[in-house]
Structure 1
C-alpha cells in the first residue's frame, strides 16, 4: 500500500492529557451518538501557528485546561483519511483527511479547572479519566489506526 499524499491532509494537533496517576483524559463528543464518541482533544492549526501553541490552544478551548506540562510530542505526522461518506466542511474544502502532530501533557491543576464550556463552541458534553490503551476502542473507527499509533507512542509515559 502506498503512502498517502499528506499535502491533501489538513494540518491538525492532538492532545493526550495525562493525570498524575497515569490515566488519560477522554471527552465525549457533543451531539454524537455512541458507542464510538469518545476522543482526545484535537483541532486545526492556524496559518503560521507553532504546533505546541496550537495544542495548548485546542486543549484550553475544548477542556478549559491551562495547567499542563509538556511530556512528549510526535515527530512524524500521524494521519487518518475521512471515509468517503464523511462529508462536512473539511471534505468540502478539499481535504482527504487530517495529519496530526500529537502532544502528551501532564495535568498539573485541579479538576475544577476542567470546563467544557470555556470556549463558546462546545466540543465535548462529558469527560472522564481512563486507561490510555482504551483509546482505539472508544474513537470512531476511521480514527482507530491513528489512535493505535498514539497509544504506542505515549505508552512509555504511563507511570
Structure 2
C-alpha cells in the first residue's frame, strides 16, 4: 500500500456560481465519509478533470453534471492551483485510496439563467445526484459551511472573488 505522503493529488475544478443578487450557489452534499456533522455538508460544485481535458471545459461539464446549469458566463479564475489534503483517517477510503487530496483550479461564473434551471435532484447528463438540496448564500459565509479540511481553500476562493459578490440589479423598493 502506498504511503499517504506519496499519494498524488486528484486534479479537479471548482465553480463559484454567482447570481444577479451577488449570492453564491451552495449544495448540500448527499453523503461522503468526510462529513462530520450537519453544518459542514455544504459546498460549491466541483469535480475531476478527465485526462487531456481543458480545465474550463471540465468546470462547465461538472457544473452541468451537478446542477443542470448551462447559463453562465466566466468572470474570473484563480491563476494557480489550490491544494488541500484529506484527513489521513479517510484517505484510504476516499477515491479508493488513490489520492491524498485535490489540486483545484477555481472559476467564478455569473449565473445568467433563472433559478428553475437548477436541478440537483436530476442533474444534467443523467448523472447521480451529488446534492440533496441547494440555496443561494452570501459569499462570506461559505468557509464556515464546508468541511474543516477544505476551509483554507474556500477562504482563498472567497478572498479572490470577493469583489464579484455585488448585485447586478438594484432591488425594487415599494410596491
If the length of structure 2 is used for normalisation, what is the TM-score?
0.83
Within the alignment, does 1:83 sit opposite 2:87 as a pair?
yes
Unmatched runs of 5 consecutive residues or more in structure 2 = 167-175
* Distance in 2 (alpha carbons) for counterparts of 1:127 and 1:30: 11
1:15-54 CA-to-partner distances (Å, cap 9, x unmatched) read 0000011000010001365110000000000000000000
Quote how far apart the aligned CAs of 1:91 are: 5.5
Counterpart selection for 1:129 from 120, 133, 136: 136
Residues 66 and 127 in structure 2, CA contact (< 8 A), matched pair in contact too: no
- Larger deviation, residues 111-120 vs 134-143: 111-120
Residue 16 (structure 1) aligns with: 16
Secondary structure at 2:162's aligned position in 1?
Answer: helix
| Correspondence list, 1:1-159, <5 A | 8-31=8-31, 33-86=37-90, 87-90=92-95, 92-93=97-98, 95-116=99-120, 117-118=122-123, 119-159=126-166
Quote how far apart the aligned CAs of 1:120 are: 2.7
Unmatched runs of 5 consecutive residues or more in structure 1 = none
Residues 30 and 129 in structure 2, CA contact (< 8 A), matched pair in contact too: yes
* Distance in 2 (alpha carbons) for counterparts of 1:90 and 1:99: 14
Secondary structure at 2:110's aligned position in 1?
Answer: strand
* Distance in 1 (alpha carbons) for counterparts of 2:102 and 2:138: 24
Q: How many residues align?
A: 154
* Distance in 2 (alpha carbons) for counterparts of 1:123 and 1:54: 17
* Distance in 2 (alpha carbons) for counterparts of 1:13 and 1:125: 21
Secondary structure at 1:152's aligned position in 2?
Answer: helix
Secondary structure at 1:149's aligned position in 2?
Answer: helix
If the length of structure 1 is used for normalisation, what is the TM-score?
0.91
RMSD: 1.7
